[in-house]
Amino acid sequence: MPTLRPMTHTPTTPGALHGQVAFITGAGSGLGAAFARRLARDGATIVINDLSPNAAAEVAAEVGGETAIFDVCDSVAFDAEIDKAVARHGRIDILVNNAGIAPPTDTDRVQQAIANQMARMEGRIDDLVPPNSTVELSDEDWDRMIKVHLYGTFYGTRAALRHMTPARSGAVVNVSSVLGLRPMAGAMHYATAKAGIIALTKSVGQEVAPYGIRVNAVCPGWIDTPLLGAMDPMMMAGIVMQIPKGRMGRPDELAELVRFLCGPESSYCNGDVFAASGGFA
């Protein structure tokens, strides 16, 4: 039996990421930008990936980091940019697979969902109108949703592990969603992609656990970022009513969890999945 040593760190040690290099996808906005600020605060050098050069440059300037502009669905670009970061700094310690998109809001469908809810409450089940969200989902929308989230997470994880495995060290954090744990009707492709990220995390986490690498996932609940900006306010109000905490989350609240999973404090987290949802999950 190996000796169990007591923990030498308490969550989370200031400055514990000094000298480390963190690559964060989709970090030009919302959660990714909050993760960049939080990891930089504890000393990490940050590489900010995004599709938007301006957004990435703004966050990079704020945290004293660098940018890597590419689409996470492009595996050749992902490999090249991770390799470039390693060539520049001699290492990659942290990868946060965060880039993501949300299904566009369809106002007609939202109105119909509200009408259906009223009919349900009044017991008029025969009046319900099928939303046909799945029937009308195009091949293109399905492909893009699965590619950005699931392919992007796979490409990034693979590219980082090529360097982390020989180094016998590293932390990968994958951003899933409460909808990956608790899918909702109407966003089947999003929920499917996020559930896939959970399976990927558990499988790879088990594979690399003995080699000093930790792969974990976070499942944010409803967080106040530009991603949800386009959602119908009525629908959003209905969702907030279902959050036991009574409000949406803030990006900095998720950033604490991600910081924990990136650092030495989470040394026994391997292939594990953490929700931060105000009780929604």
Asked whether the CA dihedral 59, 64, 68, 72 is positive or negative, the reply is negative
190 is catalytic: yes
Q: Quote the least distance from Cβ 186 to ligand NAD, whole Å.
A: 15
Collapse the DSSP code of 6 into the 3-class scheme (helix H, G, I; strand E, B; otherwise coil) and give the result. coil
52 touches ligand NAD (CB under 6 A): yes
- Out of 226, 234, 242, 279, the residue judged to bind ligand NAD by CB under 6 A: 226
Q: Which of 152, 225, 232 is nearest to 194 (CA)?
A: 152
Closest among 111, 88, 110 to 23, alpha carbons compared: 88
| CB closer to ligand NAD out of 73 and 235 | 73
- Interacting residue with ligand NAD among 12, 98, 174, 216 (CB under 6 A): 98
How does DSSP classify residue 105? P
- Report in angstroms how near the CB of residue 227 gets to ligand NAD at its nearest: 3
Q: Please answer whether residues 27 and 49 qualify as being in contact, where contact means their C-beta atoms are separated by less than 8 angstroms.
A: yes
Smallest gap from residue 6 Cβ to ligand NAD (A): 35
Q: Which of 17, 22, 26, 44 binds ligand NAD (CB under 6 A)?
A: 26
In the complex with ligand NAD, which residue's Cβ is closer, 177 or 216? 177
Nearest to ligand NAD of 72, 262 (CB atom): 72
The secondary structure of residue 270, as a DSSP letter, is: S
Q: Under the criterion CB under 6 A, does residue 100 sit at the interface with ligand NAD?
A: yes
153 belongs to the binding site for ligand NAD (CB under 6 A): no
Q: Closer to ligand NAD at the Cβ: 119 or 243? A: 243
Contacts of 29 (CB under 8 A, 6+ apart): 50, 52, 55, 225, 226, 227
Query: Of residues 151, 190, 211, 268, which has the active-site annotation?
Result: 190
Residue type, 21: V
Among 17, 21, 22, 31, interactor with ligand NAD by CB under 6 A: 31
User: Residue 175: beta bridge partners?
Assistant: 218
CA distance 49 to 70: 7
Q: Is 63 in the site for ligand NAD (CB under 6 A)?
A: no
Smallest distance, ligand NAD to C-beta of residue 76, A: 14
- Only segment of 3-11, 13-21, 216-224, 257-265 that touches ligand NAD (CB under 6 A): 216-224
Q: Where are the alpha helices (DSSP H) in the chain?
A: 30-41, 53-63, 75-89, 107-121, 139-146, 152-167, 178-181, 188-208, 233-241, 251-262
Per CB under 6 A, residues contacting ligand NAD are 25-26, 28-32, 49-52, 55, 71-73, 98-101, 148, 175, 177, 220, 222-223, 225-228
For the annotated catalytic residues, the residue numbers are 190
